[in-house]
Structure 1
Amino acid sequence: MSALPLPPVTGVAEAPTDKGLAAAARLRSVPLAFGAGAMVGVLGGLIGLGGAEFRLPLLIGVFGFAALSAVILNKALSLVVVVTALPARLAAVSVGDLGGHWSIAVNLLAGSLLGAWAGACWAVRMRSATLYKVLAVLMVGMAAALTLAHSTTVGSLDLPGPVQVVAGVVAGFGIGVVAAIMGVAGGELLIPTIVLLFGADIKLAGSLSLLVSLPTMLVAFARYSRAGSFAVLGANLRFAALMAAGSITGALLGGMLLGVIADLVLIPALAVVLLVSAVKVARHD
């Protein structure tokens, strides 16, 4: 995907890391910002996730954000989507049911909070060229995780208590790192992890993943707020609001269309989208 051709805007401060594309210029394409967010939301809704892994290459390839700026924007948009989805999830799975499994969330959070801080630290210290390559590798990993999660039946491991706790912390740390570096909520990894390690059913795992994702994203957000490129949010606030609105609208539509397109067709197609995006991001300079 090539950068969106936009005319230069004079007299408008530009985010220094965004390839010279002014925030005001991006807003000249309001339908594109909303539409891109809606498309991502629909894709996420169709597979029961937030879709942030599909938003990231759009922010880089279509809207011209540099790697770190795109990650920070993606993180902010993911946070909005998760906060919006949480009440709906709580309506589907009672607070009492979640409370009965609070130890699972705490176990994963013990690792994911540390992982989120570490991942954000690494991201802000990476050279831009290195970050593009890291993001490309993680997109390939997400494509593999998406394919495996939807093409195989995830069983549960019958691990001894202490081993299960250690495995939960380690898995949480890895998920926190990936979520922070990509700016995603991490549900793609959290849900199968919760099913595999703790034997939770898929519906409960989806709700628990949101409870883990929210504080994990806030920790990464707090670390990113200390970076100079965090100013990208202030410079592109209206753009972010439009894309967030599109993402929420699309997610609702995608949720209603859930099951309309067979996974046998949908999942391979989305995996290919991620792989193609990974190649384009890797070649980005």
Structure 2
Amino acid sequence: MSFEPSAMSMRRRLLHGSLAGLAIGTIGGLIGLGGAEIRLPVLIALGFEALPAIIINRVLSLAVVAFALPARAETIPFAEVAEHWRVIVTLLAGSLVGVWTGATYATRIASRTLYRTIAAMLVFTAVMLALGDDPDLKHMAIDGTVRLVAGVLAGFIIGLAVALMGVSGGELLVPTLVLLFGLPVKLAGSVALAVSLPTLLLGFARFGRDNTITVVRENLTFLGVVTAASMLGAFLGGQMLGIVPAATLLPLLGAILLMSAWKIWRHGSASGQ
């Protein structure tokens, strides 16, 4: 079975993919996201079907996350991130289970259902970002065991999103860290990356048992070029962290996610599968 995208000139696909990778990588490095929710509709627009787009998205998300964390270290030192290891462990306890469960499910559902699931998750992510940007909601009035359970459950849902969309989960993690654990947005971005990296790695390993190798092999040139552009963007975004307030980008990102959800929903309806 071939996972090559539909007809489009390689030069055009590489150009569009690289520009998108650079821009999305910059946002990822700046806010602490993998940027995959924005990238996924771009991949679909470039002719990839849902499942291969998810797998390619996962590879690109891994590259952005791996480079964004050290790129942000000058502004948010690793030691400051490590101080919140309990929060990281709590979220990982849920996300690692969620990503394994979601990876199993994603390979068994119809393309139309997958598109609509992705669209619904994008809308939910946009709502979470809007809440995360509300200063009146930055600290939930829960603590102790309740917050621990809520953190594990949130991690599980985020792990499902990582598996189903090939995302890093940062777009959900950052609002969760702000709302549930009361972290400042910039610090939340770095903590989110620390959670995203192992979650992505497990999801990548799980999909490796299915179609990942085939998808990567058939799109090696595209992946190489766009990965390089994405890593450059992640580096640039990390360097801009001390200049641009990340909170100003959240409303714009939420609007982009809603637009992306609409496009993917329409694409799923058109597929009729």
Q: Which residue of 1 aligns with 2:56?
A: 73
Q: Specify whether residues 236 and 105 from structure 1 end up closer, same or farther in structure 2 by C-alpha distance, changes over 3 A only.
A: same
Q: Which residue of 1 aligns with 2:2?
A: 16
My pick for the range that moved more, 160-169 or 231-240, is 160-169
2:195 is the counterpart of 1:212: yes
Q: Which residue of 1 aligns with 2:133?
A: 150
Root-mean-square deviation (Å): 2.7
2:225 is the counterpart of 1:245: no
Q: Which residue of 2 aligns with 1:7?
A: none
Q: Specify whether residues 18 and 154 from structure 1 end up closer, same or farther in structure 2 by C-alpha distance, changes over 3 A only.
A: farther
Q: Which residue of 1 aligns with 2:257?
A: 274
1:232-252 Cα offsets, whole Å, 9 max, x none, are 112112211211222233344
Q: Which residue of 1 aligns with 2:219?
A: 236
* Runs of 5+ unmatched residues, structure 2: none
Measure, in 2, the Cα distance between the counterparts of 1:130 and 1:164. 32
My pick for the range that moved more, 26-35 or 201-210, is 26-35
Q: Which residue of 2 aligns with 1:174?
A: 157
Q: Specify whether residues 192 and 29 from structure 1 end up closer, same or farther in structure 2 by C-alpha distance, changes over 3 A only.
A: closer
Letter in 2 for 1:161: G
Normalised by the length of structure 1, the TM-score is 0.82
Q: Secondary structure at the match of 1:226?
A: coil
Identity %: 48
1:16-37 Cα offsets, whole Å, 9 max, x none, are 2445448xx5356432221121
Measure, in 2, the Cα distance between the counterparts of 1:175 and 1:104. 14
1:34 and 1:243 in contact (8 A); partners too: yes
Measure, in 2, the Cα distance between the counterparts of 1:52 and 1:82. 10
Q: Which residue of 2 aligns with 1:38?
A: 22
Of residues 106, 114, 131, the one that matches 2:97 is: 114
Measure, in 2, the Cα distance between the counterparts of 1:269 and 1:158. 28
Letter in 2 for 1:128: S
1:221-267 Cα offsets, whole Å, 9 max, x none, are 1111111354111211221121122223334445539649993xx65
Q: Which residue of 1 aligns with 2:174?
A: 191
Q: Which residue of 1 aligns with 2:35?
A: 51
* Runs of 5+ unmatched residues, structure 1: 1-14
Aligned length: 266
Letter in 1 for 2:2: P
Runs of 4+ aligned structure 1 residues displaced above 6 Å come to none
Q: Specify whether residues 104 and 38 from structure 1 end up closer, same or farther in structure 2 by C-alpha distance, changes over 3 A only.
A: same
1:40 and 1:54 in contact (8 A); partners too: yes
Q: Secondary structure at the match of 1:92?
A: coil
Normalised by the length of structure 2, the TM-score is 0.85
1:72 and 1:230 in contact (8 A); partners too: no
1:47 deviates by: 4.7
Q: Which residue of 1 aligns with 2:124?
A: 141
1:43 deviates by: 4.2
